[in-house]
Structure 1
């Protein structure tokens, strides 16, 4: 051998050099192999401080005898495993260069869970019972599409649960089984209550009474939801702002609302936990509710509960039973009653954003009675005077009186119209159509009565006028002589002039007006025909001439052009 730089290899034979190189290579391979082996141990994962919460969760779980790579590296060909190893080494580089995320993300594929020696027989086990006494069958959840979603193992067995690892997160169950399935007594859980829960067979006591679920559910056919109304909370909505946590590309954000696409790419392909996107839903007995007490403070509802219901309490959600109590009044006040065939005609006070408490501030109970019954704020003429002055005194009661009178007379006319149709010789489609029209008219009258027409006298007047017109048409078609109610202020349109204007000193209708180039005696015409003969009545100060008003004029003035 010759010299190589400052080193003299003349005394070393080629054979010895090869042997030395072989030993170096062997030691290198052993070290490399050891490093590769060590990199596959949980201790190596825990060498990064950001992995400590995950390592602690793994160490306290049922999987603490299983290496991380057994789950995070699915069974695959060597080429795939090398790629996975490269990905893992890239995480090491990120850690060394301080470019890592404090919340690492990793996926566990179904193949890892179902590999030989792990849970390969899980799909064949049929129904199992969880520690929380929930019946569950893996096969339909993994092998079938559920509500349009193809679930995976980690859809329910979350990747990380604080203090646990790869264990069931029941929040996912609640989302699939309860979202969009109704609320309160209308809740219809996917699979039904008994699809997951065993019906308790034992007796339990509440107070001094003994109960058995079987007496109600099996013998009486009572639904679980009849008693357990308040056991589901939350709606599981997926607000768009949660998308921005991971995405900032407009083309990806454009898919918001495309539910099948989102679930396929997040749940099926990438194991994203449901509650990264959805708001939480909970299921179980609520905590004790705070109730008002006689003293005016609050008390906690407390009643002896059976052991199986430990911690349970009623929440007293009144809306489960008392539903739509003011729906009619709100429709009347807002003037939005298109379902009854009425035009949109909001009250002027609604347009002025006057809330209910603007008029409802008179207490209906006081003293000893209020101590137990509470109080309801009723509308009072004091509110009219408070806002509009003393001239408005008695207007509310006069409006109510006029409404009661008109409703009574229109209702009586409706009964007469029904009788006339029943006794008529009308048949087939004509009879059916007329009966349907009478049904609509009757609903309009009931609407004014039940929704309190004084919330919006303009819409109330329109509804009663349309009903009266329908009854009159029924009389004409059957040949029956029905009462002519056209002179009633709420039907003629003269209610403004008779109930409001005189009190306020407003001279409407005026004695004369200009129309079609002529001066006409306006008040005389209103006394003869009523406002609606010529005007389309809307809300306050909205009374345009009817498009066919000249036809009305020609009834008395045939030479009019």
Structure 2
């Protein structure tokens, strides 16, 4: 053996030059092959030479990346990365030639390739972007730090499913993270991904806008009962599609995600069952089947709610029924009743507040009292009519008897229907029924006594009557003493009760603008400023406060230098129309005619400060909302400062004179607001 090795070494020494040349040629050939391989693999046309890559290449050709070479994404930029990619490419070519290749290829794309210069290098700085129609997405929140214990990569969301769209967002990845192991109807980020829908929505024939309900704090899941299907679980069989070894019973989920997601960019859908998200199940009326236990117990109430069942009257479903509100939308409070103290659900006023807002908690009680009074009147009227009928029916002609029986029968049935069905379930339908009862009883009395004078005992408003709004829904409006509109304070009671004005004079009654104020300040002026004697402060409370220098936070009271004057000394000839120019013209009655220029100067200076203070207030609010982990004491201090600063600003804004009523006090209010806001800035540092 030793002799053999000696002979080999001797030959190598003898032919050393030839061996060096041969080895050099091999190295050159290897470098040439690698260079050729690199050159070929950097061109996208080469990727499609293997038939099983065809679907991916075809998707790429129609994608937003069609002008980007495959290698720009799929090949690492470093020298070691290039070598690794080339050896991998050669190995893949050999496996393809020997038919031992993977039938479903996969690749790992580094985030650095996505974020390099010329591509998406500013993506993390762009903030919110809109995905699809109204989904707000921030890349920085998802890529900087762990989310649910997982460090995500670009390809965690931007992946490729066969026959899919190349590198577009795979929504199932989003749904897996946001909904897995979350309670029904909830997501890890709540509903913050979606901006509030602005379009008018039609659901089951009911038209509405989301904004008014979101403003009241109505939870999305009150209507969107089920928003997901699937659970996102990982079945063991999924593991064996890539691995062939047995796994322990207990697996560390974090380690699995670190290895698969963070290190090797494995797509979520390769392991997790799919979770679908959308309008899987929406709320529906009467979805609780009470009949399962209480057969026929609430049929009359359901008929009342659905607006069916009354005699000789058209169907009229409740607006709540049209809105798909189920029984448990109002019957939320559980109480014990009966000998066995069984549990039952009752309705309470607070249920109204949940959807309609503050002030509607008394509406149900008002309906109940109104219906009780009306049905009592009708019951008395029915008994009186029935007694009169019983007394003389023996002497009545046959045709009158035939006419009276259906009238009395219909009145008795319909009255019982309202009382048993509880008219609160459908107030408008209940009122129509009671009007029908009254009409039938009046007709019956007319047949019994020709001299009978028909009368309206109920004074019920029909759909078009001016008091229908306050009688049907807005029962609290007649009780409301003062409301504010565009800086003016007014009373509903004065306008509706005393002056007999219809609600629709000021408010829109139809469509998605229902209830919105439609009149302008000029409409008010046409009425109020044409009166001989007008008490200004009754409507212009904010202006009086500003003129007298009162109402601000941490600002000394400071009446205007002309506070001894009456409003009419400057605001003269109101009946001829009220304009700023006419008001400034009255300055010349007491001062130099050029004095009006001072008013312009006061207003210009005040407007500039108002804009600066408003901008600073919005900045402080935004910073405060983003701040987290603040001590309770500091949080309370910031809230108090913001409230006082905004109150001072609003006092100047609601005065609507841009400081002209009291320029010194307006300036003091804005200065105090500015000081408080700058203190907020310091506390938030």
Q: TM-score range by the shorter chain?
A: 0.3 to 0.5
Higher share in helix: 2
Give the TM-score normalised by structure 1: 0.45
